[in-house]
Amino acid sequence: MAVETISLTHTYAVGTAFEFTAIKGVTFKTLAHEFIGIIGHTGSGKSTLIQHLNKLLTPTSGSVIVNGFDLSDKKMPMKEIVKRVGIVFQYPEYQLFEETVYKDIAFGPTNLGFSKSETDFLVREAMDFVSLDFEKLKDESPFDLSGGQKRRVAIAGVLAMKPQILVLDEPASGLDPVGREGILRSIRRMNKEIGISIFLVSHNMDDVAEYCDRVMVFSKGELLLFESPNEVFAHADLLESIGLEVPQAKKVLLMLKERGFSVDASFYTCDEAVAEIARCLRQAKPC
Amino acid sequence: MNDITVGQYYPVDSPMHRLDPRTKLKGVFLYVMGLFFVNNLYGYGIAFILLCVCVACSKVPISYVLRSLKPILMVIVFTSIINLVWTQGNVVWQMGFIKITDSGISLAANMAARLVLIITGSSLLTLTTTTVALTDGIEMLLRKVPLLSKVSHEIGMMMSIALSFIPTLTEELDRIVKAQKSRGADFESGNIAARAKAMIPILVPLFVSAIQRASELAMAMESRCYTGGTNRTRMKELKYRPADHLSMTCLVAALAACYFTKALV
Ligand SMILES: Nc1ncnc2c1ncn2[C@@H]1O[C@H](COP(=O)(O)OP(=O)(O)OP(=O)(O)O)[C@@H](O)[C@H]1O
Ligand SMILES: [Mg+2]
């Protein structure tokens, strides 16, 4: 599903001493099935933006259009919106509340009015997608699981609602390297196999470089760039000036280039960088 | 969610803000007590002027001070009406079974005036005193109370921890509500039973995280060898200054004046 915003602005606590405009005049248009990355310094308005995508926040001015429907339209009930746009918040494990993993994941689909057998199918499918063993874990209490497993259960709880747009606010923060890769891989699979559009908020440039089709760069509530990772990471100086950096792999290439190696520094994923360095070394060393 | 403002401190620098928290606490206590001895217009006049002077000294905008009245406006209106129609006395106006008496009018006016002055006065305390200073002040004052002096530090500590948890929990609540709404939870429709049941997905995570936070804090305090009580010194000692003595004297004088207005009527 495509998402569009038109000069979207949000001001918190209007009319008090604490008034603060968190996002200003944000306009963009995404395509269906796209994997979008959202990066920006802490406090730049990323979480504020994503809460507009399922009407948890209403714009102070401007509008949000999801799949051609203006969300400010009163005729669109909240249930219809959350059915299409699923949001996984920062540290989603804090939203678990049921006695068993199964019941917790089934909460969303049940609210949306799916039947028992449909819900059962959806729960199995969602658990499978985030690599949780259905038979082993369905009757466990979610509070007895490890941090990474809780995170997966929470993500499965949103996935089970079959959203066509999935928004994730730092889904991998605070996990070990294996855990973070597992979760990000699952997200990519949802994108590639079922065609869910993804919005991924991340502080990790390597993840963004690896997974995203296009990247939004926010600074102080404004959308500075919205381009492919290749183009975004070409603006190394700009990124640095707003408190961000380029992926590690690209950093290495840039440093090598600075020291006089003839590498092409436009690559930004780890695999590409390795290949490029190997090529350069082979070329430099006369056999 | 942002309407919940307990300890709604208004950060400016004013003579009122600089007063010792103990002076302000004692002042509010005396003022509230004093109001119960006032029963005539002159007395309320003096009490009102006293409050106005304090507000002016505090540099807090009038709109902020009045905002504290909003939540109890209904209470004031309700008690006034009850007093008005339920009090016996000389009937001055009658319609059907509703009788309004002279003593009803005076009782209603008395109560309303008292409530407004009490609420505004005590909210001025929280508007001009940080929660840290407030709990410090309470702790120091409790040391002088015979039975409570032994546990005054513990009480002060408990209060400051409880107060510092309020904004954190409010934020947490907001986050959980948003997360469950995104999962299709519906808090607005259905009968009372359905709505109470809809609270479970909010309350369970909220309690879990509150208990978790509390135990983490306890652990952090213990691992730094925290022991409350007798031999603890503090970085900022509370000290009375001339301004404190001066304002206390003025307050007592004004309240005495309020009391003796009785002689006028
Ligand atoms: N409920 C609120 N009331 C008032 N101000 C808020 C509220 N929520 C966020 N803000 C402010 O809006 C700004 C943007 O916040 P937001 O949460 O969108 O940032 P973010 O980009 O998600 O940051 P992070 O990377 O730390 O999660 C911040 O300065 C924050 O203080
Ligand atoms: Mg955020």
Examine the domain organization and report whether B27 and B117 are in the same domain.
yes
Q: Could you tell me if B218 and B243 lie in one domain?
A: no
In this structure, is residue B145 part of a structural domain? no
The pLDDT, as a whole number, for residue B166 is: 83
Collect the ranges in chain A with pLDDT lower than 70. 16, 285-287
| Domain co-membership, B157 together with B99 | no
- Give B 203-232 residues with CB within 8 A of chain A: 204-205, 208-209
Residue B242 and residue B219 share a domain? no
pTM higher than 0.90, yes or no? no
Q: How far is CA A98 from CA A123, A141, B100, in A?
A: 14, 8, 57
Q: CB-based burial of residue B165 (10 Å sphere; 0-12 exposed, 13-18 middle, 19+ buried)?
A: middle
Q: Do B98 and B163 lie in a common domain? A: no
Asked if the structure places residue B138 within a domain, the reply is no
Query: pLDDT by residue (tens digit) across B141-170?
Result: 988 888 888 888 888 888 888 888 888 888
Is the residue at B60 inside a domain? yes
Same domain membership, residue B242 and residue B125? yes
Residues B163 and B256 in one domain: no
Q: Do B181 and A82 touch (CB under 8 A)?
A: yes
Residue B179: list chain A partners with CB under 8 A.
87, 89, 92, 94-95
Is the model's pLDDT at B244 over the cut of 90? yes
Smallest CA–CA distance from B67 into chain A, residue: A16
Task: Identify the DSSP state of A191.
Answer: I
How far apart, in Å, are the Cα atoms of A51 and each of A2, A23, A203?
Answer: 16, 12, 18
Tokens 């016996």 label which residue? Answer: B88
CB-based contact, B180 to chain A, within 8 Å? yes
Count structural domains, chain B: 2
Does residue B208 belong to any structural domain of this protein? yes
Whether residue B243 is found in the same domain as residue B123: yes
Give A108 to chain B, closest Cα distance, Å: 5
B21-50 pLDDT, tens digit each:
999 999 999 999 999 888 888 889 999 999
Q: Both B114 and B27 in a single domain?
A: yes
Chain B hits for A16, CB-CB cut-off 8 Å, are 2
Alpha carbon of A236 to ligand 1 centroid (Å): 25
CB atoms within 10 A of CB B174: 12
Whether B97 has a pLDDT exceeding 80, the answer reads no
Considering only residues A4 and B100, tell me which one the structure prediction assigns the higher pLDDT: A4
Is B124 found in the same domain as B36? yes
Q: Are residues B123 and B26 in the same domain?
A: yes
CA of A6 to the centre of ligand 1 (A): 21
Q: What does R_g of chain B's alpha carbons equal in angstroms? A: 23
Asked whether residue B42 is assigned to any structural domain, the reply reads: yes
Residue type, A161: M
Question: Is B70 in the same domain as B109?
Answer: yes
What separation in Å is there between the alpha carbon of B171 and the centre of ligand 2? 13
Residue B178: give the domain boundaries: 153-223
Q: Which of A92, A111, A143 has its CB closest to that of B185?
A: A111
Decide if B182 and A54 are in contact by the 8 Å CB cutoff: yes
Alpha-carbon distance of B186 to A226, in angstroms, equals 35
Residue B172 lies in a domain: yes
With an 8 Å Cβ cutoff, are B182 and A87 in contact? Answer: yes
Nearest Cα residue to A156 out of A115, A188, A128: A128
- In a domain? residue B110: yes
Q: How far is A51 from chain B (nearest CA, A)?
A: 9
Ligand 1 center to A22 CA (angstroms): 7
Does B159 map to a domain?
A: yes
**Looking at residue B225, what is its pLDDT?**
86
B238 in reach of chain A (CB within 8 A): no
Ligand 1 in reach of A22 Cβ (< 6 A): yes
